[in-house]
Amino acid sequence: MMSEMRQGRPATLARHGMVAAPHYLAAQAGLDLLKAGGNAVDAAIAASATLQVVYPFVCGLGGDVFMLLYDAASGHLHGLNGSGRAARGASIAALREQGHAQMPTYGIHTVTVPGCADGWGMAATRFGKLGLAAALQPAIQYAEAGFAVGPDLHSALTRMSAAEVAHPSWRAHFTPTGTVPAIGEVVRFPTLAASYRAIAAEGAAAFYRGDLAATMADFFAREGGFITREDLAEHHGDWVQPLSVRYAGHDIYELPPNTQGITALQMLGMLDGLPLGATALDPQTLHAEIEAKKLAFADRDAYLTDPTHMRIDPQALIAPDYLAARRSLIDLTRAAPSVAPGGFTGDTVYLCAADEAGNVVSLIQSNYMGFGSGVVVDGTGIVLQNRGAYFSLDPSHTNALVGGKRTLHTLIPSLALRDGKPSVVFGSMGGDGQPQTHAQVYTAVLRYGLNMQAAIELPRWVHGAEEGHETVRVEERLPSASSDGLRALGHDVQSVAAWDPMMGYAQGITFDAANGVMSGGSDPRAEGCAAGW
């Protein structure tokens, strides 16, 4: 069956450093920082900031950021939660008084305090080498001098410009002439460049307590939003302890709640004790992954939220005895009904970077749904996320809206260690699909021996529900024996286009401890590459 899956491009091999990102300009920007004497942290921030210029439909300065950082000098792995909180003045009652029966999906009330700038600053200050200002220079150059619009950005702008949810501020920023720029047309974002320059000059404080903060607070006040200058000034990211499970002889690390990293760990922890098929695409392999997903997502929807509001200890969800009990519920001969299946939406960017000294960064950043809230702060180029759409107006819901609360985040960077050293760094965009992609790619690499590029290129599946009906969506490239085998096991299988973006944009690097060679992969579903030297 695997012979049907011919690898489309080779893995990138390098010894001195590597950056894998979903746009080639961002990967090259990160690589330039490495060649200039920077480390993996500098490179990751440079790539992240550049993506906000050239790929702004999946990430932005008005979003959040999460990182896993392996510090070679100390041999320690650190977690960074750079997510923002709901405004202190936001509440279920306030939204209901405005006539909202459920949490809005777009608009000013879906915006939570953006955590990206602070997260960059925290990482650069603690672990960077060249400083935040140097890391932002490539993005500033592209925003000021211009770059050529690629097909993905053109398509995203076309879709959003036709949508009613696009705020006038969005149109003024992205389509000032009233038309969508063509593929190959050079565009510039001078207001975004000015915002970057302010952060480069003053540090992240410029975003939360400087002139930028005043501009944002005034904008929210004009638009009737809840976020105030005090909300911005009070924001802070957090250094957190990553969580892990053992899988195929490796320790797989993810971030704790409010991310859904535990969901990926549960899937892998359950799979580690299950017999799989002969190949990564064998129906028995896919079936086991899907059934583990159902159980993990039932727990996710019941328990995961801001850790200060959780009803249980997150560690309990990945305890060996608990995973064994959940694993025992999987019937390897038949699909089980799902308690609370996930959905199919979400737009994000994931990138990773590694340097010659052994430092590794796993970084994920997002607007949430495409261009986020559909709102851009006038005069700043800051595209505001709609992460608050994940809140609920049901006070009994795990993610009930509360002022100052973090909602559940789909963003999950990951990193694997073997014998205490990085063996794999990996992640993907894709909303609820992210843990599902983690399980599939880690399984392909660690249990079936595929290189990272080959594993990323494999046809993928995403399980979820729309209008109450759950399905397994598979790329049409999946061998018919795999699809037919899943149907025989009781799954409702629906095909989608080959290389469909709903399957996420994945990036990853594996590390050969014996010779120091890095092997990188980048998703053909996006416009990226794994750039190394």
Q: Which amino acid is at 469?
A: H
What is the structure's pLDDT at 39?
A: 98
* 289 touches 439 (CB < 8 A): yes
The token pair at 144 is 């000021």
Catalytic residue among 12, 259, 348, 510: 348
The Cα–Cα gap between 206 and 195 comes to: 9
Helix/strand/coil (H/E/C) assignment for every residue in 475-499:
ECCCCHHHHHHHHHCCCCEEEECCC
The HSE-up count of residue 126 (CA atoms within 13 Å, CB side) is 17
Q: How many helices (H) and strands (E) does the chain have?
A: 17, 21
The Cα–Cα gap between 195 and 170 comes to: 16
The Cα–Cα gap between 140 and 194 comes to: 8
Length of the chain counted residue by residue: 533
Residue 3 in this model has a pLDDT that exceeds 50: no
- 156's CB contacts (< 8 A; 6+ apart) are 57, 370, 371
The Cα–Cα gap between 284 and 496 comes to: 21
Residue 341 in this model has a pLDDT that exceeds 50: no
* 525 touches 428 (CB < 8 A): no
The token pair at 512 is 């050969």
348 is catalytic: yes
The residues with which 461 forms a beta bridge, in sequence order, are 474
> Looking at 73-77, 103-107, 321-325, 379-383, which range is the least confident one?
321-325
Which tens digits make up the pLDDT trace of 228-287? Answer: 999 999 999 999 999 999 999 999 999 999 888 999 999 999 999 899 999 999 999 999
The Cα–Cα gap between 330 and 511 comes to: 33
Which tens digits make up the pLDDT trace of 8-50? Answer: 999 999 999 999 999 999 999 999 999 999 999 999 999 999 9
Q: Which amino acid is at 229?
A: R
* 325 touches 347 (CB < 8 A): no
- 251's CB contacts (< 8 A; 6+ apart) are 244, 245, 416, 417, 418
DSSP one-letter code for 527: B
Peptide bond into 451 cis (omega under 30): no
462-468 average pLDDT score:
81
Taking alpha carbons only, the member of 442, 453, 443 closest to residue 525 is: 453
The Cα–Cα gap between 268 and 296 comes to: 10
Taking alpha carbons only, the member of 418, 365, 363, 411 closest to residue 252 is: 418
For 56, the 3-state DSSP assignment is coil
What is the structure's pLDDT at 338?
A: 58
Report how far apart, in Å, the C-alpha atoms of 435 and of each of 294, 315, 410 are. Answer: 11, 17, 9
Q: Which amino acid is at 395?
A: P
Phi-psi region of 365 (alpha: psi -120 to 50; beta: other; left: phi over 0): beta
The token pair at 225 is 């939003």
The Cα–Cα gap between 195 and 140 comes to: 9
- 217's CB contacts (< 8 A; 6+ apart) are 227, 228, 229, 232
- 312's CB contacts (< 8 A; 6+ apart) are 303
Phi-psi region of 471 (alpha: psi -120 to 50; beta: other; left: phi over 0): beta
Report how far apart, in Å, the C-alpha atoms of 458 and of each of 3, 4, 101, 188, 523 are. Answer: 12, 10, 42, 36, 10
What is the structure's pLDDT at 343?
A: 33
What is the structure's pLDDT at 518?
A: 98
The domains located in the chain, with CATH, are 2-7+240-346+411-528 (1.10.246.130), 25-239+361-390 (no CATH)
pLDDT bucket at 340, cuts 50 / 70 / 90:
very low
Which tens digits make up the pLDDT trace of 183-203? Answer: 999 999 999 999 999 999 999
For 308, the 3-state DSSP assignment is helix
pLDDT bucket at 305, cuts 50 / 70 / 90:
confident
What is the structure's pLDDT at 231?
A: 98
